[in-house]
Amino acid sequence: MMETALKATDINKYFHDPVTMPVLKNISFEVKKGEFISIVGKSGCGKSTLLYVLSTMDRDYEGLLEINGVQTTGRSLNDLARLRNESIGFVFQFHYLLPDFTCLKNVMIPALRLGKLTYKEVQEKAYEKLKMFGVEDQALKRADKLSGGQQQRVAIARALINDPTIIMGDEPTGNLDSKNTGIVFDLFQKLSKEFGQTIITVTHDEDFAHRSDRIIEMADGVITSHGN
Amino acid sequence: MKINVNTEIAITYLSSRKKQTLIAAMGVMFGVSMFIFMQSLMKGTNDYFEKMSFNTTPHIRLYSENKVADTHLMTNYLKDSSVKILDNPKQLVQRQGIINPYGVINEIKKNPKVADITPQVTADVIYTSGSVQLNGTVAGVNITEENKMFDIQSNMLSGNLEDLNRVNQSILIGKGIADKLSLHTGDNITVTSGTGSPLVMRIIGVYASGVKQVDETKSYVNIPQAQNLLGKDRSYVTDIKINLKDYNDAPEVAQDMATITGYKAEDWVQANSQLKTAFKIRAMILNSVVGVILLVAGFGIYNILNMTIYEKIKEIAILKAEGFSGKAVTSIFLQQAIYIGLMGGIIGIFFGYLISYGFSRVYIGGSSPMGGALNYIPMSFYLPHYIEAIVFGILTTIAAGYFPARKASRVDPVTIIRG
């Protein structure tokens, strides 16, 4: 039996504007360590909303959330920020790199924030991560000078810098061509298989979803299939 | 290299928008340098006027004051059981001057705060030369002591101060008197007081203190001559002038002396109350100007940081997603404000010093009609002004940066990233 990386119990969430209506209804599921999970569903089914609840950034929900066996529901903003810094890496549809910084610095910032390694060690580690994604030659360029695919790869490198136990992606390949999508998918798979990192992505890409370990299907705020 | 990541981000943000940073810093720079310039000018002028007033006024002047008759005696004698009506009270006829002046002087000298002390005989007189007459006062002084206290030597236009002790029937007159009566050193002048007979005196010198009113009325003679002029005896002294080691002690010491001697002791603050009021008003005007400049600089910083935050709102959201707490985000933006303040403050200090120095070299003395007592714009170079200036500058930037920084810390990453 594998360890549980993330456990959601009876998650309910409502949008209040313009009228109160439920978006997530009694969502319960578990993700094991090292699993590669895709959440799919039609637009507006609540899959992205669910991901942001799981990410701990959205605290406006009912129910219980546990990450790595620790309950995160009800904890302070600062605690959650620390937790995200240490254990969760994010990849978004848009890269959201800081354009004023070099790629290397962009990757380094979360690790510097964590403060467990010296500046030099962080620098080396960041460079290694960039190398993993084949963008090490762009390391000293400003982030806004790169192509879209390169930027997304740098963004993924940034998500991995603190060796998070969980990596969350909100349409991580949404803006990439098929070649880059392939690269990103292979990397995700490698991370889950070789490094035991848990991956949860929300995606529209059928192909991408079918190649992952498990697909969670959602419709109208409920999980219709947990996969197998 | 151990540099905080918040600091690193703050500095990168500042250096990636150099122009705006520079403009914001310039706002602070102007505020700080104007603060320094105005404070220096104000203190310089105030010090100058204070010094000027000490050229003519002692720190404390002890003199006997005419008193108006009051009801104290009757109250003592009749108690409260009666109704007292004192109709048309008059000034009492009393002996003018200070009784046993040299005894009083010896007593006062015991006070360790006293630096110099000298007696004076003041007489209201009429100067006559030919057919022209002029009102004025004659101060009978010990010119050596007087010079030590008021530095008359530096005001001498012609003649020798010490001749007042050597030459019989000698007088040292102000430039205004000399001009009006067309007299020079070596000429004779007739001096008449209200109580004595007219005396013809030899002018041994002319001085110009720079205070028009003084130079047009006041002249110096030695003490026995003033006594002769008034027809009084050798123990007649009207004023005792006292200088202290620290003139700021004057009000307090004056009160003690009044209590001990029973005479009126007027300190320089009272004597120059109009000067003090002028200081206060000047300080108010200058401080409000500086306040406005710093306020404007503050708004500049507020604006620039606010704009930065709008522009970088996605980056702030991503930083928060990466695990930066609200506190860290506040620190990033507040630090930017502080660095702008520091930069502007330090440049402002140099600039403020330069302006002050430049102005202190501006010659304004040439055209002064009373002879150049004030040649250059008075400027003080006083370290606490510089420290105050940079502290105020940084406080302003912190206040201006706080609100944008707080706003940044409250950015909700979910709303921003989801769009």
Tell me the domain boundaries of chain B. 5-54+275-418, 62-78+91-267
Percent of chain B with pLDDT over 70: 92
Q: What would the mean pLDDT of B348-354 be, rounded to a whole number?
A: 93
Q: Tell me if B186 sits within 8 A of B202, measured CB to CB.
A: yes
Say if strands B239-244 and B60-63 run parallel, antiparallel, or are unpaired: antiparallel
Instruction: Compute the Cα dihedral for A131, A136, A137, A143 and give only its sign.
Output: positive
Q: Tell me if A65 sits within 8 A of A11, measured CB to CB.
A: yes
Q: What would the mean pLDDT of B254-279 be, rounded to a whole number?
A: 84
What structural domains and CATH numbers belong to chain A? 4-225 (3.40.50.300)
Q: Does A55 touch chain B (CB under 8 A)?
A: yes
Percent of chain B with pLDDT over 90: 21
Percentages of chain A per state (helix, strand, coil), in multiples of 5: 40, 30, 35
Whether B201 has a pLDDT exceeding 50, the answer reads yes
Q: How confident is the model at residue B368 (pLDDT cuts 50, 70, 90)?
A: very low
With CA atoms as reference, the chain A residue closest to B314 would be: A96
Q: What would the mean pLDDT of B119-129 be, rounded to a whole number?
A: 91
A112: helix, coil or strand? helix
Q: Chain A: give the shortest CA distance to residue B345, in Å.
A: 26
User: What does the pLDDT look like over A206-225, one tens digit per residue?
Assistant: 888 888 889 999 888 888 88
Instruction: Compute the Cα dihedral for B296, B301, B302, B308 and give only its sign.
Output: positive
pLDDT at B2: 52
Kindly tell me the burial class for residue B419, based on how many C-beta atoms sit within 10 Å of its own C-beta (0-12, 13-18, 19 or more): exposed
ipTM score for this prediction: 0.87
Q: Does A117 touch chain B (CB under 8 A)?
A: no
* C-beta atoms of A113 and B321 within 8 A: no
pLDDT at B174: 92
With CA atoms as reference, the chain A residue closest to B322 would be: A85
Which one, of B315, B316, B120, lies nearest residue B225 by Cα?
B120
Q: Tell me if A197 sits within 8 A of A169, measured CB to CB.
A: no
User: What does the pLDDT look like over B203-254, one tens digit per residue?
Assistant: 999 998 877 888 899 999 999 999 989 888 888 898 999 988 888 888 888 8
pLDDT at A146: 87
Compute the distance between CA of residue A37 and CA of residue A209 in angstroms, rounded to an integer: 8
Q: Chain B: give the shortest CA distance to residue A150, in Å.
A: 18
Which one, of B140, B179, B175, lies nearest residue B159 by Cα?
B175
User: Rg of chain B's alpha carbons, rounded to an integer?
Assistant: 33
Q: What would the mean pLDDT of B49-75 be, rounded to a whole number?
A: 75
B393: helix, coil or strand? helix
B residues 61-100 lying closer than 8 A (beta carbon) to A: none
Q: Tell me if B37 sits within 8 A of B356, measured CB to CB.
A: yes
Compute the distance between CA of residue B290 and CA of residue B297 in angstroms, rounded to an integer: 11
Amino acid found at A192: S
Which one, of A73, A1, A70, lies nearest residue A32 by Cα?
A1
Whether B372 has a pLDDT exceeding 50, the answer reads no
B residues 281-320 lying closer than 8 A (beta carbon) to A: 314-315, 317-320
Compute the distance between CA of residue B168 and CA of residue A21 in angstroms, rounded to an integer: 112
Whether B95 has a pLDDT exceeding 70, the answer reads no
Q: Which of B42-51, B70-79, B92-101, B349-358 is predicted with the least confidence, judged by mean pLDDT?
A: B70-79
User: What does the pLDDT look like over A58-75, one tens digit per residue?
Assistant: 888 888 898 888 888 888
User: What does the pLDDT look like over B290-327, one tens digit per residue?
Assistant: 888 888 888 888 888 888 888 888 888 888 888 888 88
Pull the structure tokens for residue A165: 């136990």
Compute the distance between CA of residue A102 and CA of residue A140 in angstroms, rounded to an integer: 5
Helices (H) and strands (E) in chain A, counts: 7, 10
Which one, of B284, B256, B281, B279, lies nearest residue B269 by Cα?
B279
